[in-house]
Chain A
Amino acid sequence: MNKDTSPVRALASAVSPAYEATGKFASGRMASFGPKGLALGRSLRRMKAETERAIAEEILAARLRRDSDMFPGLDELMFDAVYRVSSDPAVTRAVARADRIARKAAAPEAAAPAASSPDPVAEEVQDTPRVPLSERLSGAVRTLRLLGECAPLLAHEVRAEMRSLSFRTRLAVGDARDRCAALLRDRPGLSRLLNLAAEADPGFSPGPVDIAPRH
């Protein structure tokens, strides 16, 4: 039995009789004989690949239509903002500091450093004493605030743009969204960072941006 349960392949089997009948052979071993043998096998494999690509494109387009309605075209902007925030060295240090604070709060006696031992994170932060944390976070705050302010204005244009994107670009957008979600999942300190940003700038608000990781 063919145990492939890929949704793309299941859908391809449902919509294409040729794929249903021949798809499984296109995935396996092939031996060709005679001058046209290779072309015969390749034609079957090409048909399979083209069918799967068309189905994947439809699925992706449907996802983008749904997502752009739910989150008005914010995915690219959100990824860009999160990427810029997370790649800022000051933010990286702030996240590390937030993590350290959280660990100390959870187990103060275990995490408390000896009186003589330096705190590497604190030292790192102290390396730039002239720039307070609130200012070092200001870039991230500005980015997020700009994102929140601009998103509603851009929503219509972004939605229209996404519909006209090429397949390759839409794949890239989908990939960016997945990377964004992975980034958020891999960086639990980001929520603490946003709390720090809010402390540093009471006027800060991420606005309508949904920063929760999507599953």
Chain B
Amino acid sequence: MMTADRKPAVSCAVMAADDGDVAILVECPGFDPVAPVSVRFDGDRLSISQAGETVAEIDGIGPETVSMVRRARSVSVISVGDPGTPGEHYVVNGNTTVENREGPLD
């Protein structure tokens, strides 16, 4: 369930660094940079949750991207303020768990 001030994202960018870490960028108002984040894939749907509450849902994730995230060395969710506006609006939460991940954790 969601509260009124938390709207699920319908867009995201998944970016992979050379070292195997992956970041999921979402435009997600009210994102808590400290609280644990849970990432879950159900088919092509990506759900991002905090404290049992879904804060973002994105459909249509490609299978390669799903596999990349589930096999990533680590995953960070980055909340982006307003894309295209100047300034630093990136809130990084590295306390992310991929619920149905593949492969061993480092």
Contacts and interface: CB of A to CB of B under 8 A. Distances in A.
B98 interface: no
13 contacts: A25-B17, A30-B14, A31-B65, A32-B14, A33-B11, A34-B9, A34-B58, A34-B60, A36-B10, A40-B11, A40-B25, A41-B13, A44-B78
Nearest to B46: A33
A34 B88 contact: no
Given A25-B21, A32-B11, 12 more contacts: A25-B15, A25-B16, A28-B16, A28-B17, A29-B15, A31-B14, A31-B65, A32-B13, A33-B12, A33-B13, A40-B13, A41-B13
A22 B77 CA distance: 10
B90 A40 contact: no
Contact of B13 (A16, A44, A47): A44
Contacts of A44: 13, 15, 25, 78, 80, 90
A60 to B, nearest CB: 22
B84 interface: yes
A17 interface: yes
Nearest to A20: B92
A15 B26 CA distance: 24
B88 A43 contact: no
B39 interface: no
Interface string A7-44: 00000000011100110111111111111111111111
